[in-house]
Amino acid sequence: MSETMFRDAQDTLAVMQGRLREGQEIDRGLGFVGPALFVDQHFLRRGRLGRLLPLMQGKHYRYGLGVDENTAAIVQGERIEVLGASGAIVVDLDGATQDERLGTFNLRGARLTYLENGDRLVLSTFAVTPAHEKAAGRLIDPQSGEFRPYYRDSAFYPDILGDRVVVQAMTHLIDGVDSEVRGLAFRPGITGAPAAPGFHFRFYRKQDSSGWFTATSGGESYTVSKVYLDVTPVRMATPLYSPWSP
């Protein structure tokens, strides 16, 4: 749907490590949604946040829209509405920075919102209108004196780009005791092989972070508005682990 699209980029970690070539990993798209918005698909199920962010940065997209399987996003000008069985993530890189001295992908200050069926968002303001059942449900405001977090444990995700793990991290962050949630994306190294960076993901809340929750559909359903993300390259230990000795 966007002016640029992924063509053959199944290896998300390779894209993060710099493999983002015209005519191979990426190519010309249909351009239906204008020059500021990039669209990706199968997004949550296949952990594709890791490939969306380097492309947005490299192609100077401000907004990104990652739509999951069995889900649609209706885009009308600046307005996005999500319909379907799963959800979508909207990314805003306005104000995000990178440290070019590191020589590989890194990002600080990306802003993310997670939407589900019936939720709507305006790109220019990043304002969210939750679905009716969520608006009638529980407002989650971590800055409120009445905030009672559901998740009482700290969370760390060793495979942040796994199936829907990013959504787990965002919901744990907005409705948890900790103001940040961390995870890793990496490929276990082989002794003697050249080192390639892994990536540390840090999701965190700010004053404008909020969410909504409902269980009216029979399961837990969240909308998460305005959480923030830093991604930094890290050097993983080789080997990552060793046998336990008696």
Whole-prediction pTM: 0.95
pLDDT digits (tens, 9 = 90+) for 75-125: 999 999 999 999 999 999 999 999 999 999 999 999 999 999 999 999 999
* pLDDT of 218: 81
Instruction: Report the helix count and the strand count for the chain, using DSSP H and E.
Output: 4, 16
* pLDDT of 193: 63
The 3-state DSSP class for residue 46 equals: coil
Average pLDDT over residues 232-242: 88
Q: What is the mean pLDDT of the chain?
A: 95
Q: How far apart are CA 160 and CA 152, in angstroms?
A: 20
* pLDDT of 191: 61
Given a contact cutoff of 8 angstroms between Cβ atoms, the answer to whether 228 and 210 are in contact is no
Task: Look at strands 156-157 and 180-185 and give their pairing.
Answer: parallel
pLDDT digits (tens, 9 = 90+) for 37-82: 999 999 999 999 999 999 999 999 999 999 999 999 999 999 999 9
Helix (H) / strand (E) element for 128: namely strand 127-129
* pLDDT of 237: 86
Query: Per the structure block, which two tokens stand in for 167?
Result: 């959504």
pLDDT digits (tens, 9 = 90+) for 173-215: 999 999 999 999 998 866 666 678 999 999 999 999 999 999 9
- In this structure, the number of other CB atoms found within 10 A of the CB of residue 206 comes to 13
Q: What percent of the chain has pLDDT over 90?
A: 90
- What's the pLDDT band for 157 if we cut at 50, 70, 90? very high
Q: How far apart are CA 119 and CA 212, in angstroms?
A: 10
* pLDDT of 192: 61
* pLDDT of 188: 82
Q: What b/e sequence results for 40-55 when a residue is b if at least 16 CB atoms lie within 10 Å of its CB, and e otherwise?
A: bbebbebbbbbbbbbb
Distance of CA 237 to the CA centre of its chain: 25
Does residue 17 carry a pLDDT above 90? yes
Which residues make beta-bridge pairs with 194?
none
Q: How far apart are CA 34 and CA 49, in angstroms?
A: 21
Query: Per the structure block, which two tokens stand in for 14?
Result: 């390779």
Q: How far apart are CA 219 and CA 235, in angstroms?
A: 39
Helix (H) / strand (E) element for 154: namely none
